Copies of this chain bind each other. A is one copy, B any other.
Amino acid sequence: MPTSSSSGPQHRRGNTRQRIQDIALELFAEQGYEKTSLREIAERLDVTKAALYYHFKTKEDIIISLFEDVTRPIDELIAWADAQPRTLETKREVLRRYSEAMAAGAPLYRFMQENQATTRELSIGHTVKTRLFHLVELLRTQDGALADQVRCVSALFTLHAGMMFLQHIDGDPEETRRAALEVATDLITQAHHDA
């Protein structure tokens, strides 16, 4: 019921909305969206299910609100990149920023990575997909060899891999992130030079 103001601090007393988002994200990332019930979220917050409905109209609304926070930086990145010349340096900057955005919104990106099927069926699914395609388009070396096209996509996937997979192996996530960024940058550089 409270209007989701675009920005500005919500009445701090009513931090319940925020708490719902936090716990929900945690549980969604841990167990998946459909396996997480509203009862579970409510219990964790020590409120009733009905209280959730005061703050969000549906279960899907909760996850959508999480996506909104996280995709704004990507939208800005895309807007910025669209206005730049499609040089190698621009592409590198895109990867750099994307990597940072991912690090900042890690839990939700993890959720997206591990629940692609769910994400796709959600109402934001289309948007997410479109954005990803747009990013690929920004990196892609048009009319290049097929292998080079793959390299551009792979660069993006490498960033994801760096965050998701390697975090289980190595110690410092930040170091790993930079290594992944390096590899990704190598990939697009190679694709760029082939053209």
Contacts and interface: CB of A to CB of B under 8 A. Distances in A.
A48 to B, nearest CB: 8
Contacts of A118: 32, 35, 115
Given A115-B117, A116-B113, A179 B147 contact: yes
Interface residues of A, number: 37
A146 B160 CA distance: 16
Given A32-B118, A121-B32, A161-B153, A146 B113 contact: no
A34 interface: yes
Interface string A106-124: 0000010111111011000
A88 interface: no
Nearest to A116: B114
Interface in A141-158: 145-147, 149-151, 153-154, 157-158
Contacts of A113: 116
A137 to B, nearest CB: 10
A160 B175 CA distance: 24
A182 interface: yes
B165 A161 contact: no
Nearest to A1: B48
A42 to B, nearest CB: 10
Contacts of A161: 150, 153-154, 157
A63 to B, nearest CB: 13
Given A32-B117, A121-B31, A176 B150 contact: yes
Nearest to A111: B117
A149 to B, nearest CB: 7
B121 A114 contact: no
A171 to B, nearest CB: 10
Given A35-B121, A116-B116, A150-B183, 9 more contacts: A32-B118, A35-B117, A114-B116, A115-B117, A146-B175, A146-B176, A147-B183, A150-B182, A157-B158
